[in-house]
Structure 1
Amino acid sequence: MSDTKDTLHRIKLMIALVPKEPGDISTRELLCALENEGFNVSKRTVQRDLEKSSNTFPIYQSVGGHHPRWSRKKNAPLDTDIMLPATALALHLAESHLSRLLPSTVLQRLTAQFELARHQLLSNTSNTFHNWARTVRALPNGKALLPADISSNVWEAVSDALLRERQLRVVYQAREQSTPREHVLHPAGLVSRHAISYLVARTQSYEQPVQFALHRITDAEVLTAPAMELEGFSIDQFISRQLNSEEDIATVTLEADVSPSIAWLLNETPLSMEQSLTPLEDSHWQRLRAVVPNDKETRWWVYSLGENIRVRAPADWIEEIKTRAQQTLAQYQENAE
């Protein structure tokens, strides 16, 4: 083995020998362990390697003085592969983004990688991405709800049953029911939508798969019986049908007058690939034409624009907007009385 490879192997082995906190190990104990592995180095070399390695790997000197001891952060991964700064930055940004989408139970599975990425960026001032971790943030577009809380036992059982293609017994609290009920499910897929994760599965009562919100599952157990295979099932087709609607989502041509601020937004981030914006005469507003899905999410987005949009088509959207506006006005009139 060349000197370079020998040194690299020794350092990686040394890092692996450092126990996770609250455990620790002395420099002399590390030296003895390395000697047992056939490395002939001095105590000073080990101490120097530890100090340099602490700038790259999540280890730290837990006890100082003449008899220093070293520990590894408990969330640090077991491997000692070096993470490139660009990879560390990508993981650091992904952490802030995923924290608003995934439940804490799932995020805990990635804690070690996030910790290593954060340590790599913040501890090494020589890499060009060092300041990015302090100055770059990922923010949601609009109000983001906190992820629904999912039991760690439920998450493990659901993922295990899905991967091993086993039946799953669950106790599920449906919104429209006063008490939870027990079901035996045949898992088919998993969908994360905004702040909620859904298990897509077939039950004994329904031939077609339906969705179960994971945070409403109070208990779950993987059964030994194999799950029934859903012939012709496609998770993408299930999603395109708006998570359990009876028909595929159709497209419509949205025609509306939009305020300058919305026109500017849509010019930079179009509503669809088929979109046009035309200035209106004697006005700062613009006429929007776009082919969009006729689904709840699109309609909710349009409704949320309030006074910044005047829908011209489709006609049923106009009627729904009128109905919503009348109901809202009635609620405020009742409060005033």
Structure 2
Amino acid sequence: MPQNKIHFTLARQWELLKQLPARGEGRSSAELTDTLVSAGFKVSKRQIERDLWELEERFPIDCNMDVRPYLWRWAEDASFDLPGLSLAEALSLRLIEETLTPVLPQSIMSVMQARFSRAREYLDNSPQLRLSRWVDKVQTIHPNLPMQVPDVDPTVLETVQAALIGDKQLVVEYFSLKSDEYREMTLNPLGFVQRGSISYLVATVDGYGDVRLFAIHRMRKATALSLSAQRPEGFNLETYIREGALEFGNGQTIQIELKVEGPLSRVLAETPLSADQELKPNGGDYYLTATVIDSWQLDWWLLSQIDHIEVVAPVALRQSIAERLQKGVSKHR
């Protein structure tokens, strides 16, 4: 076989393997053919079918022959890491697993389980035992109160991600905390954000222009439509986040003035609240000014540090904190 034809076959089959889903029902040979043609390969459906049967003999891929057309996918717990892992890669994967497991839903983590398993197996059998044990000497600790990760329906998650990537509208049954019931709505997906242990879809409700956050674990059912998602003019996910959307505020900034006790002032000197923070001695304590986003997250932080700070300004924020403290005191008498 000519050398260039061998290279073409390898490139085509490599791309074909990459296009096989690891979860879900699988993809038909016709769908895979369309994908490879879109990627620039001149290939027929018949050739793709021959490739699939040939690859099935060498790789852990499954063909569901109970349906028509046949559907192809990677087998459960199969990994597409064709090259061998290096020690550095295995160590990195182990640390990633330790870091993400407490904060990501199992349905998201399951996509990586095969790779994590390979990393663990590699390290358990590594001849470079001393270096491989390094992972036992490093831990990642999350500073917030540890809470259980909410369950996410893997089928819902996959549908949401597919609609987002394909810029398609999405119909979901979404649980509203306000009305305490599920409501069906059509969404225009704009982005996917992980905030701590909660996964959010950034989207607009069809017919409305305001961008909102929808917790994935509150979706009971999701169906992708063939209609293109409507994107607000000028929307940028990075800007949306930078303006404080994930802090649950309105994006407006305020200048806060605080009296801060010594121990907390040292923490804030090391990790400022903002780039323009100023911290000046004030008797035995410190006086702090900073421009921050006015949000629930700011309120939560102030209340969590209330033993060590006094809110001086804005006056409305000081009054709000005082009222919430009074309500708390009345509940604990």
Q: Secondary structure at the match of 2:132?
A: coil
Q: Which structure has the bigger radius of gyration?
A: 1
Match of 2:315 in 1: 315
Establish whether residue 270 from structure 1 lines up as the match of residue 276 from structure 2: no
Match of 1:242 in 2: 245
Establish whether residue 147 from structure 1 lines up as the match of residue 149 from structure 2: yes
The alpha-carbon distance between structure 1 residues 238 and 313, as it changes in their structure 2 partners (threshold 3 A), is: same
Q: Secondary structure at the match of 1:150?
A: coil
Q: Normalised by the size of structure 1, how large is the TM-score?
A: 0.69
The alpha-carbon distance between structure 1 residues 206 and 276, as it changes in their structure 2 partners (threshold 3 A), is: same
Q: Secondary structure at the match of 1:147?
A: coil
Count residues in correspondence.
258
Verify the 8 A CA contact 1:211 1:244 in the aligned structure 2.
Answer: no
Match of 1:183 in 2: 185
Q: Deviations over 1:39-95 (max 9, x none)?
A: xxxxxxxxxxxxxxxxxxxxxxxxxxxxxxxxxxx7462434222322322222221
Query: Paired residue for 2:262, among 260, 263, 278?
Result: 260
Q: Which moved more, 1:324-333 or 1:199-208?
A: 199-208
Match of 2:90 in 1: 88
- Could you tell me how far apart the structure 2 residues matched to 1:231 and 1:267 are? 40
Verify the 8 A CA contact 1:173 1:180 in the aligned structure 2.
Answer: yes
- Quote the offset at 1:222 in angstroms: 1.5
- Could you tell me how far apart the structure 2 residues matched to 1:171 and 1:217 are? 6
Match of 1:169 in 2: 171
The alpha-carbon distance between structure 1 residues 179 and 110, as it changes in their structure 2 partners (threshold 3 A), is: same
Identity %, equivalent residues? 30
- Could you tell me how far apart the structure 2 residues matched to 1:321 and 1:209 are? 28
- Could you tell me how far apart the structure 1 residues matched to 2:77 and 2:91 are? 18
The alpha-carbon distance between structure 1 residues 230 and 304, as it changes in their structure 2 partners (threshold 3 A), is: same
Q: Deviations over 1:102-141 (max 9, x none)?
A: 2110010111222222223332141653122111110101
- Could you tell me how far apart the structure 2 residues matched to 1:221 and 1:80 are? 33
Q: Secondary structure at the match of 1:228?
A: coil
Match of 2:299 in 1: 299
Establish whether residue 326 from structure 1 lines up as the match of residue 323 from structure 2: no
Q: Deviations over 1:302-336 (max 9, x none)?
A: 21112111222222221112111111111123xxx
The alpha-carbon distance between structure 1 residues 137 and 330, as it changes in their structure 2 partners (threshold 3 A), is: same
- Could you tell me how far apart the structure 2 residues matched to 1:243 and 1:291 are? 17
- Quote the offset at 1:98 in angstroms: 1.4
Structure 1 unmatched runs, 5+: 1-73
Verify the 8 A CA contact 1:238 1:244 in the aligned structure 2.
Answer: no
Q: Normalised by the size of structure 2, how large is the TM-score?
A: 0.70
| Equivalent position amino acid for 2:307 in 1 | E
- Could you tell me how far apart the structure 1 residues matched to 2:321 and 2:304 are? 10
The 5-angstrom pairing of residues 98-137 of structure 1 reads: 98-126=100-128, 129-137=131-139
- Quote the offset at 1:247 in angstroms: 4.8
The 5-angstrom pairing of residues 24-63 of structure 1 reads: none
- Could you tell me how far apart the structure 1 residues matched to 2:163 and 2:115 are? 25
Verify the 8 A CA contact 1:102 1:195 in the aligned structure 2.
Answer: yes
| Equivalent position amino acid for 2:96 in 1 | A
- Could you tell me how far apart the structure 1 residues matched to 2:143 and 2:166 are? 36
- Could you tell me how far apart the structure 2 residues matched to 1:269 and 1:90 are? 27
Match of 1:64 in 2: none
- Could you tell me how far apart the structure 2 residues matched to 1:328 and 1:147 are? 27
Match of 1:202 in 2: 204
Verify the 8 A CA contact 1:185 1:203 in the aligned structure 2.
Answer: yes
| Equivalent position amino acid for 2:291 in 1 | V
- Quote the offset at 1:174 in angstroms: 0.9
Structure 2 unmatched runs, 5+: 1-75
- Quote the offset at 1:208 in angstroms: 2.6
Establish whether residue 219 from structure 1 lines up as the match of residue 250 from structure 2: no
The alpha-carbon distance between structure 1 residues 123 and 197, as it changes in their structure 2 partners (threshold 3 A), is: same
- Could you tell me how far apart the structure 2 residues matched to 1:277 and 1:228 are? 46
